Amino acid sequence: NAGVTQTPKFQVLKTGQSMTLQCAQDMNHEYMSWYRQDPGMGLRLIHYSVGAGITDQGEVPNGYNVSRSTTEDFPLRLLSAAPSQTSVYFCASSYSPGYSGNTIYFGEGSWLTVV
Amino acid sequence: KNEVEQSPQNLTAQEGEFITINCSYSVGISALHWLQQHPGGGIVSLFMLSSGKKKHGRLIATINIQEKHSSLHITASHPRDSAVYICAVWRHGNKLVFGAGTILRVKS
């Protein structure tokens, strides 16, 4: 098992550029999610999905787009990058969210800088 | 006010000391995670609990649902325990909400 795989690990973007952060899991998890981590703010939910074809917004969805066409993949798209999107991004997955006994697995993180 | 509050924000301990990190939350939850994050990023779930107490090695986690409070204890702390410890709660509705984290440094 590879677990949760995120790419790229590091990326520098210019303001206005678009890009996609990739996230894949091989554990057949229904639930996948994206978070951003900023100093002093902790982790915040951007978007999440409870299964293929189903996505919903989290706490900070503006400027980001997601889709879930397969169980395995949950890419995060930055539509027009802004310096405020400079952050560390984490993808995570779980078999059944919030159900005791089903833990959550995180990717290793993607460091994004927008200049 | 944040929905999940952790204390302390920073903690320095001597090797061997007993450590307690606290988490209070203000919303209804289905379960709570204690997460560990080492410098460089990686986040690992140490515990997920919805009631009572769990133990894994030198780590113990407790939760009191009525009081909306959880604690993470580390017995016989070691420098390799130095990390950020994050409390996160599953709100009803599939959303994970995080505390700001506790930065722990254990000195030898």
Q: Confirm or reject contact between A1 and chain B (CB < 8 A).
A: no
User: Does A95 reach chain B within 8 Å, measured CB to CB?
Assistant: no
Which of A41, A90, A103 is closest, CB to CB, to B45?
A103
- Flag whether residue A26 sits within 8 Å of chain B, measured between CB atoms: no
Interface-testing mutation among A68, A93, A103, A112, with chain B (most B C-beta atoms within 10 A):
A103
- The alpha carbon torsion through A46, A83, B43, B90 (nearest 10 deg) reads -20
Check CB contact of A50 with chain B, cutoff 8 Å.
yes
The H or E element containing residue A31 is: strand A31-38
Kindly report, residue by residue over B25-74, the tens digit of the pLDDT: 998 888 999 999 998 879 999 999 999 999 999 999 999 999 999 999 99
Smallest Cα distance from A41 to chain B, Å:
6
What angle (nearest 5°) sits at the alpha carbon of residue B35, between those of residues A70 and B91? 65
Per-residue pLDDT of A62-86, as tens digits, reads: 999 999 999 999 999 999 999 999 9
| Token pair of B30 as six digits | 């289905």
Name, in order, each residue with C-beta under 8 angstroms of B67's C-beta and a sequence gap of 6 or more. Answer: none
| Chain B interface includes A82 (CB < 8 A) | no
**pLDDT given for residue B93 in this prediction:** 66
Q: Name the token pair of A46.
A: 């951007």
> Do the beta carbons of residue B86 and residue B101 sit within 8 Å?
yes
Q: Which residues pair with B83 in a beta bridge?
A: B104
DSSP track, B19-69 = EEEEEEE-S-EEEEEEEEE-TTS-EEEEEEESSEEEEETTEEEEEETTTTE
The SS3 of residue B72 is strand
Task: With CA atoms as reference, report the closest residue to B7 among B50, B71, B66.
Answer: B71
Cβ-based contacts of A58 with chain B (< 8 Å):
95
CA-based torsion, A66, A67, A71, A76: positive or negative: negative
What is the reported pLDDT for B35? 97
User: Quick one: what percent of chain B has pLDDT higher than 70?
Assistant: 98
The pLDDT tens digits for B67-99 are 999 999 999 999 999 999 999 998 876 889 999
Residue B90 to chain A, least CA–CA distance (Å): 5
**3-state helix/strand/coil string of A23-59:** EEECCCCCEEEEEEEECCCEEEEEEEEEECCEEEECC
For residue A49, list its beta bridge partners.
A32
Q: Between chains, do B29 and A98 touch, taking CB under 8 Å as contact?
A: yes
A89 touches chain B (CB under 8 A): no
Q: What are the structure tokens assigned to A72, written together?
A: 């395995």
Confidence class for position A99, pLDDT limits 50, 70, 90: low
Nearest to A31 among B29, B48, B94 (CB): B94
Q: Which tokens in the block code for residue B72?
A: 């993470």
For residue range A8-63, list pLDDT tens digits in order: 999 999 999 999 999 999 999 999 999 999 987 889 999 999 999 999 999 999 99
What are the structure tokens assigned to B6, written together? 């952790």
Structural Rg of chain B based on CA atoms? 13
The mean of the pLDDT values for chain B is 94
- B 34-93: CB under 8 A from A: 41-45, 48-51, 86, 88, 90, 92
Q: Which residue of B has its CA nearest to A47?
A: B95
